[in-house]
Amino acid sequence: MPGIVVIGTQWGDEGKGKIIDYLSKDADAVVRFQGGNNAGHTVVTKEHKFQFHLIPSGILNPDIINVIGNGVVIDLEELVNEIDDLHSKKITTSNLKISPNSHLVMPYHRILDEARENLLGNMKIGTTKRGIGPSYSDKASRSGIRMQDLLNVKIFKKKLEFVLKEKNAILTKIYNLPPLDFNDMLEKFKYLSKKIGDYVLDTSKLINDALDEGKKVIFEGAQGTFLDIDYGTYPFVTSSSTVAASACIGSGIGPTRIDKIIGVTKAYTTRVGQGPLPTEIKGKLGTMLREKGSEYGATTGRPRRCGWLDTVLLKYASRINSITFLALTKLDVLSFLNSIKICNSYSYNDNYYKELPYNQNIFSEVSPLYKKFSGWEEEISEVRNFNDLPKEAKKYIRRIEDEVKVPIRLVSVGPERDQMIKFEESIW
Residues that bind ligand IMP (CB under 6 A): 11-13, 38-39, 125-128, 130, 132-133, 222-223, 227, 236, 238-239, 272-273
Q: Examine the residue annotation and report whether 13 is marked as an active-site residue of this protein.
A: yes
Instruction: Tell the smallest beta-carbon distance from residue 13 to ligand IMP (Å).
Output: 5
If the CB atoms of residues 14 and 149 are measured against ligand IMP, the closer one turns out to be 14
- Active site includes 310? no
Number of other CB atoms surrounding residue 129 within 10 Å: 18
Nearest approach, Cβ of 265 to ligand IMP (angstroms)? 14
Strands 29-32 and 65-68: parallel
Query: Nearest-CB residue to ligand IMP?
Result: 273
**Cα–Cα nearest to 221, from 26, 61, 414, 20:** 20
Cα 403 to chain center, whole Å? 24
Q: How far is the CB of 11 from ligand IMP (least distance, A)?
A: 6
Pick between residue 125 and residue 243 the one whose CB is nearest to ligand IMP. 125
Task: Name the minimum Å distance from CB 208 to ligand IMP.
Answer: 28
Residues in the chain: 428
What amino acid is encoded at 142 in this protein? R
Q: Helix/strand/coil (H, E, C) string of 225-236?
A: HHHCCCCCCCCC
Q: How far is the CB of 133 from ligand IMP (least distance, A)?
A: 5
Residue type, 382: E
Catalytic residue among 28, 41, 75, 138: 41
Residue 85 Ramachandran class (φ > 0 left, ψ -120 to 50 alpha, else beta): alpha
Asked if residue 280 lies in contact with residue 306, where contact means CB atoms within 8 angstroms, the answer is yes
Q: How far is the CB of 300 from ligand IMP (least distance, A)?
A: 7
Cis-peptide into 235, omega within 30 deg: yes
Q: Could you tell me if 22 and 417 are in contact, meaning their C-beta atoms sit under 8 angstroms apart?
A: yes
Neighbouring residues of 4: CB distance < 8 A, sequence distance ≥ 6: 23, 216, 217, 218, 219, 258, 259, 260, 261, 262, 427, 428
335/360 with CB nearer ligand IMP: 360
Q: Measured in whole angstroms, how far is the alpha carbon of residue 119 from the centre of its chain?
A: 26
- Catalytic residue annotation: 13, 41
